[in-house]
Structure 1
Amino acid sequence: MVLKEDHLAQVIFDTLDLNIEKIEVDGVAVSFHLTERHPIMGSALQIPLPTGAKSGAQMSVKIFYKTSERCIALQWLEKEQTQGGQFPYLFSQCQPIYARALAPLQDTPSIKMTYSAQVASVLPVLLSAIRVSPPSDGPAHDGKVVGKDTVTYTYDQPVPIPSYLIAIASGNLCYRSFPAVEGKSWTSGVWAEPELMDSSYWEFTLLTGDRSLVDVVVHELTHSWFGNGITHAYATHFWLNEGWTTYIERLLQQFLHSSAERGFSFLIGSKALQNALNLYKDKPKYQRLVIDFEPGEDPDEAYSTVPYEKGANFLLHIEQKLGGLDVFLPYVKDYVKTFMGKSITTDQWKAHLFTYYEKNGSKAQTEALNEIDWKAWLYGDGVELPVKMEYDMSLATPPYNLAQRWDASRSMSEAEKLPFAESDVQDFNANQKVVFLERLSSFVPLPSSHISHLGSLYRVSTSTNAEIRMRFYDIALQDPLSPAAKLFAKDALRWVVASKVDPALAKEYFARSKDAFHPIARKIIEKDLASK
C-alpha cells in the first residue's frame, strides 16, 4: 500500500460477513476495529497505521480472514445441479457492491486495482485474471485427478480493474482453444464442463442450441472499453457503463449484419424498457439515468433495463442530433482515448462531449447539443422517453403481421382448425420470434386453447432459448387458465403474482427452489414477492 497523504492515522476497507482473524502492518500485529454491520454496506474494517508516515511511503498490510456461509457473492452448486453430476461447482458475482463479501477492500468502482492470487483446490479454478500456472492449454487440473489431488492455481491481473470484476469459478472445468487468428498474438477459447464442451465450443455464449444469443459476446467484449475500461465512478452513474455498451453493441450489429438489425435491436429493447419504467411507477427516481442514491441504499434496488435501454437511446438521440455516425464516431474514439482506465461521472462525460465539439465540430453541432433536453434525459422520470424514437422497422413487419393474424383468430373456437402452420415462423430468426410474442402480448389475451396451440405449433413453449420461452410465458400467464406451468426466474414469478394467477403458488414454488438461485438473485426475488 502506498500512502497518498502525510500522517494518515488509519486505512479503511469494506467488508461484508467476513471473519477477520488478525492483521499485520509491516509484519507487526495490530489491533483493528470492525464497525457494526449495516444490512447493505456491511462493516467498515478500520486498521491503524504507524504514526509519522509521509506521503509516498509504502506499507504492507496483511489481513488474515475467512469468508462465511452468509457470503452473498458466492453460489455453491451441489454436484446434482451440474451437467456432469460428479462434482460441486462454485461461482461468484460481485457487482455492484459484493466484492466486500469475498475480501476486505475498498469496494467502489471509483478505485481500480491490480491483483494476484494463488488458489489451492482439488477442482480446477478460474479467476478474472491471467493464468500463470498451470497452463490453460495443458491437461485439465495439471494432469492430476480431479476431485482428489490438490493443485495450486496462480493468477495475475496486471490491468487495474474495479472491484466488482473480481471473479472466481471452480468445478470440473476443462479448456478448448479456438484456432489462432492470423496476425494476432492473443488467443481465445472456452472453459466448460466436459459434458458441455462441444455445445459450448459451437455456440460460444449463452447456450440455447441455436446460436441466437451469440451477440451477447459482442456486448461483453464491448465492456472492455465501456464499463471495464471507462468505468462509472459510483452507482449513480451506472448508465455510463451499460448505456454506452448497449449503444456500441447495436452499432456493431449494423456492421456485422445490417442497419436493419441495429434498429431491430432497439425495437426489442424498447419493450423491455417500457416494462421497467412501468415497474418503477411508484419509485420514479429509478426511472432516471442519474440516480441520487441515499447513503446505505442498495443499488441493486434500481437494477433494471433502464440504464441499458434509456442510456442507449439517449446516445442514439445525440448521434442523430449531431448529424449521424460520420460525425459521432470520431467523438466516441476521442472519448475512449481520453478516459480509458479512469472512473468518471456523468458531468465529466458531458463536459468532454461539449468540449470536443467546441474544438472539433461546427457551430451547428454545438447548437444541436444545446437543444437537447439534458434535464429530461438524465434526471427525468416517467414512463416515456423525452423524445419519441424511430427505428428501422423492416425486420419487425413479418412478426407484427403474424401477431395481427393470431389476434384476429380469437373468434374461432377450435384451435386445431386455426389457419396457422409451423412454416409461419420458419424464416424468423430468434429475435423476430421474440418480437412476434411481444407484439401478441400487447393485445387482449388469447383464449387458453389458442395459447396452447401456439406454444406447441411453433415450439416456443419448449424452446431452449430462454428469451423466447420467457415471452411465451408472458402471453400464457395473461390467462389464468393457461397450462403454462414452468416459470423463469424473477420476471415469471412476478407475472404469476401480478396477474393474480396464483400468488401463493408463486411463493410456494420459489420457497422450494430458492437455493438453486444465486444469493443476489434470491435476495431480489424474495423482496419482490414479499411486496405483493
Structure 2
Amino acid sequence: MTSPSTVLLPHTPDHATYSNYVSVETTHLHLDWTINWEKQLVGGSVKHEMKVVGEEEGGLKEVVLDTRDLEVKRVEVDGKDAKFTISAAHETLGSALHIALPTSYAKGNTFEVLINYSTTADCSALGWLEASQTKGGLHPYLYSQSQAIHARSLIPSQDTPSIKSTYSASVHSTLPVLLSAIRISPSISAPLETGGKTVEYKYEQKVKVPSYLIAIAAGNLVYKEISKQGENGASWRTGVWSEPEQIEASYWEFKEDQAKFVAAAEKLTGRSYDWGVYDVLVLPPAFPYGGMENTCLTFATPTLLAGDRSLVDVVGHEISHSWFGNLIGCSSWAHFWLNEGFTTYLERLLMQALHSPAERGLSYIIGAKALSDSLEGFEKKGNKRFQRLVIPYHEGEDPDDAFSTVPYDKGSNFLLHLEITMGGLDVFLPYVQSYVKTFAGLSISTDDWKAHLYAYFTKNGGPEAVKKLDGVQWDAWLNGEGTKLPVDMSQFYDASLADAAYDLAARWAAAGSDEKKLAAFSKEDIASFGTSQKVVFLEKLETSSISPLAVAKLDEIYSFTQAGNAETALRFYEIALASGDAYAQQAAVWVQDKGRMKFCRPIFVAINKVAPELAKSTFKEHAGFYHPIARRMIAKDLGVKL
C-alpha cells in the first residue's frame, strides 16, 4: 500500500494511551459480539493478533491495552489462560489492562490475545436510544462514536491513531447491524431482519484502520443503492441507510452528489478509492457530529436533510477523509490537523471542481468566521495551546477538550497558503498526489509531512522552490497562538458569491430600528441566495449589534426559524440571543432535538447568557437525549454537574 522506501521520523509518544504500542502492535483483531438490547450492553470477545515490533531486554513480557469502564472477565494468550490486572481508573484515560505473557517474545514474534468482556452502562462510545427516541418509534437504536479516545470503552485496544490494523467481526442481534467494514453475510442483496430473530452479521475490513474508526450502528435500518460497482468504471458502490421513515428523503438528498464526490476526489488525489463501498447512514438526531468518517459507512446527522441538497457538502468532507485521516492518519492527536486540514482542503477543491472557484472561496469565507470564533473562545478561556495546529497536550489530557474548527480551518488555510506560495494549484496538486502515494496506509507526524514536502519540492522545484519554503513562517503556523493567522488569507478568497450577502448585511445594519427602513426589506432579498450565501449574510450581520425590533423583522421577512435549515436557524438564534432574551424560549425548544454539537453547544451557551435558569433546566430535562460526548461538553459549558 505504500512505498517500501518510505521512512518515518521518530514520533513523540502518544500521551493519550496506556498501551505499549511501541513494543507490540495489533495487526488484526476479530470481534465476536452479542447486543443485549434489554440491558443496553455489548458483550463477547475480541481477539488480537499481535506482533512484537520493539527491542526489549529479555524480550516482551506483557501486553498493555487501553480500557475504560469495561468488565473484563477472562484473558487467554495463544489459547491458554493468562493472568491480568487492571489499573486504577484515570478520569479521562480509563484503566490500563496489563496482560502477563506466558513466555517472553522477541522482536518479530507473533501471538494471539483473546479477551472476554462486556461494555457497561458507562460506555462513552455508545449511544443507546429508546424506541420513542427514533424516527419510527418501534425499535431501539444503537450507534457508536469513538473519536478521539472512546474506542477503549467499547474494545480493550491499543487506542491510539499510531496503530492501524485490519478487523473482522461477528455480531449477533435481533435488529440489523452495520459496521465500518464490508458485510460478508447476510448477503448484500438480502433485506435485513427486524422481526425479533437473532441474526449473525459478519463483516470484514481488509484495509488497516485505527481503533477510533471501528464503528457500529444497529436498529431498524433499510438501504437504497445510489450507484453500482462498475458503473462508469468505478471500483466501488454507493448508497444510503436510514430508518424506513426517512429513507426516501435521505436518498433524494444525496443521490445527485455522493458518487460524483468520490469520483472527483479520486481524480484530485490521484488514487482510487480504497474501501470498496461508500455508504452514508443517516442517524437519529442525537448524533453529536455533522458526520463521522467511519470507513465504508459515513455516519451523518439528519440535520443535513434540508430538502434542497444545500448541505451535502458535509458528505464531501467525509468522503475526503477516505484519503486524509482514514488512509493517511495522524500518529497522535497532537497532529490531528493533518487529518482535518487536508480533508477540509480537499473538500473545498471538490467544491471548485464540481461547482466553481467562487464556491471554494465561499467555503473559506464561512470557515474563517468559525475559525475566528474558535480562536477567540480559546483566548477567553485561557486555553491558548488549543489555538495551535500542533497541540502540546498535557499528560492525561482529553483530546475532546481541544475539539474546534482550528485543525480544520487553520489547517486548510495553511495548505492554501502553501499552494499560493509554491505557485498555484497546478504546482501544488501534484505534490498532494505524491503525499498520498507516499504515506497511504501510515500514521504520520507533522515532521514526517514537512520532511516529505521539502523532499518533493527539492526534487521538483530545486533551490528556488526550497527558498520559497524557507520563507514560510513555520513556527507561527504550526505552533503559533493568538486570534489571527500569520498571514491574512482573506485577500486570497474568491468573494464573488459573498458580495451580495455582505451588501444586504450592511443595509440591515444601517437600518437600525428605523421602521421605515426595515419595511423596505422583502423575502426577494435572498430569493437567489444559496444556503452558504445566507450563512455568510447572517454571520456578517452578527458582527453588527442589531435591535430586538430588527431581529423580529429579520425572522418575519425571511422565516429563518421556519425554514427547516439548521445552518441558517443556528445563525439566526445566535443573532437573536445576542440582542436579548425574546427568542430564548423558542431557541430552548429548537435545541432539544439537536444533538449535533455544532448546534447544541453554542445555542445552550447563548441561552445561558440571557436566561441561565432556562438553559440549565432545559439541558437537565433533556440530557438523556444527547450522546455521552455531547452531554459532557454541554455540562462543562454550562457549569452543570450530572
TM-score, normalised via structure 1 length: 0.96
2:457 corresponds to which residue? 357
Cα separation, partners in 2 of 1:447 and 1:54, compared to 1, 3 Å:
closer
Is structure 2 residue 444 aligned with structure 1 residue 344?
yes
Which one of 614, 617, 641 corresponds to residue 508 of structure 1? Answer: 617
Query: What is the letter of the counterpart of residue 163 of structure 1?
Result: S
1:71 corresponds to which residue? 123
Query: What is the letter of the counterpart of residue 313 of structure 2?
Result: D
Within a 5 Å distance, the mapping from 1:489-504 to structure 2 comes to 489-497=600-608, 500-504=609-613
2:470 corresponds to which residue? 370
The answer to whether the Cα contact below 8 Å between 1:452 and 1:483 also exists between their aligned partners in 2 is no
2:538 corresponds to which residue? 437
**Pairwise CA distance, 1:449:** 2.5
Cα distance in 2, alignment partners of residues 139 and 91 from structure 1: 20
The answer to whether the Cα contact below 8 Å between 1:2 and 1:59 also exists between their aligned partners in 2 is yes
More strand by percentage: 2
Cα deviation digits, residues 68-125 of structure 1 (max 9, x gap): 0000000111111111010111100000011000010100000001111111111000
Which one of 311, 317, 335 corresponds to residue 237 of structure 1? Answer: 335
Cα distance in 2, alignment partners of residues 54 and 448 from structure 1: 72
Cα distance in 2, alignment partners of residues 479 and 208 from structure 1: 27
Q: Residue 50 of structure 1 aligns to a residue in which SS?
A: strand
Query: What is the letter of the counterpart of residue 489 of structure 1?
Result: C
Cα deviation digits, residues 252-305 of structure 1 (max 9, x gap): 211111111111110010000000000001111110001100110111110000
Query: What is the letter of the counterpart of residue 451 of structure 2?
Result: A
Which one of 316, 321, 326 corresponds to residue 426 of structure 2? Answer: 326
2:14 corresponds to which residue? none
1:387 corresponds to which residue? 487
Which one of 81, 89, 92 corresponds to residue 37 of structure 1? Answer: 89
1:396 corresponds to which residue? 498
**Pairwise CA distance, 1:483:** 2.6
The answer to whether the Cα contact below 8 Å between 2:59 and 2:106 also exists between their aligned partners in 1 is yes
Is structure 2 residue 398 aligned with structure 1 residue 298?
yes
Q: Residue 86 of structure 1 aligns to a residue in which SS?
A: coil
Q: Residue 127 of structure 2 aligns to a residue in which SS?
A: strand
Cα distance in 2, alignment partners of residues 95 and 89 from structure 1: 20
Matched residues, number: 524
2:320 corresponds to which residue? 222
Cα separation, partners in 2 of 1:410 and 1:28, compared to 1, 3 Å:
same
The answer to whether the Cα contact below 8 Å between 2:334 and 2:390 also exists between their aligned partners in 1 is yes
Cα distance in 1, alignment partners of residues 570 and 195 from structure 2: 36
2:361 corresponds to which residue? 263
The answer to whether the Cα contact below 8 Å between 1:136 and 1:175 also exists between their aligned partners in 2 is no
Is structure 2 residue 509 aligned with structure 1 residue 407?
yes
Q: Residue 61 of structure 1 aligns to a residue in which SS?
A: strand
Which one of 211, 214, 221 corresponds to residue 166 of structure 1? Answer: 214
Q: Residue 292 of structure 1 aligns to a residue in which SS?
A: coil
Cα distance in 2, alignment partners of residues 266 and 307 from structure 1: 14
The answer to whether the Cα contact below 8 Å between 1:277 and 1:287 also exists between their aligned partners in 2 is yes
1:212 corresponds to which residue? 310
Which one of 214, 233, 236 corresponds to residue 183 of structure 1? Answer: 233
**Pairwise CA distance, 1:24:** 1.1
The answer to whether the Cα contact below 8 Å between 1:91 and 1:169 also exists between their aligned partners in 2 is yes
Which one of 629, 633, 636 corresponds to residue 520 of structure 1? Answer: 629
Cα deviation digits, residues 414-447 of structure 1 (max 9, x gap): 79x6111111111000000000100111002x22
Which one of 115, 127, 139 corresponds to residue 191 of structure 2? Answer: 139
TM-score, normalised via structure 2 length: 0.80
Cα distance in 2, alignment partners of residues 53 and 96 from structure 1: 31
Query: What is the letter of the counterpart of residue 172 of structure 1?
Result: N
Query: What is the letter of the counterpart of residue 431 of structure 1?
Result: S
Cα distance in 1, alignment partners of residues 498 and 516 from structure 2: 29
2:292 corresponds to which residue? none
Which one of 152, 157, 179 corresponds to residue 105 of structure 1? Answer: 157
Q: Which runs of 5+ in 2 are unaligned?
A: 1-49, 255-299, 592-598
Cα distance in 1, alignment partners of residues 356 and 242 from structure 2: 32
Query: What is the letter of the counterpart of residue 469 of structure 2?
Result: L
Q: Residue 339 of structure 2 aligns to a residue in which SS?
A: helix
The answer to whether the Cα contact below 8 Å between 2:330 and 2:445 also exists between their aligned partners in 1 is yes
Cα distance in 2, alignment partners of residues 51 and 75 from structure 1: 40
Cα separation, partners in 2 of 1:403 and 1:341, compared to 1, 3 Å:
same
Cα distance in 2, alignment partners of residues 449 and 80 from structure 1: 39
2:275 corresponds to which residue? none
Cα deviation digits, residues 370-399 of structure 1 (max 9, x gap): 111101000000000000112111101111
More divergent stretch after superposition (301-310 vs 473-482): 473-482
Q: Residue 219 of structure 1 aligns to a residue in which SS?
A: helix
Within a 5 Å distance, the mapping from 1:84-123 to structure 2 comes to 84-123=136-175
The answer to whether the Cα contact below 8 Å between 2:71 and 2:119 also exists between their aligned partners in 1 is yes
Q: CA RMSD in A?
A: 1.5
2:372 corresponds to which residue? 274
2:595 corresponds to which residue? none
Query: What is the letter of the counterpart of residue 338 of structure 2?
Result: L
Cα distance in 2, alignment partners of residues 185 and 310 from structure 1: 34
The answer to whether the Cα contact below 8 Å between 2:581 and 2:611 also exists between their aligned partners in 1 is no
**Pairwise CA distance, 1:147:** 4.4
- Large movers: runs of 4+ above 6 Å: none
**Pairwise CA distance, 1:60:** 2.1
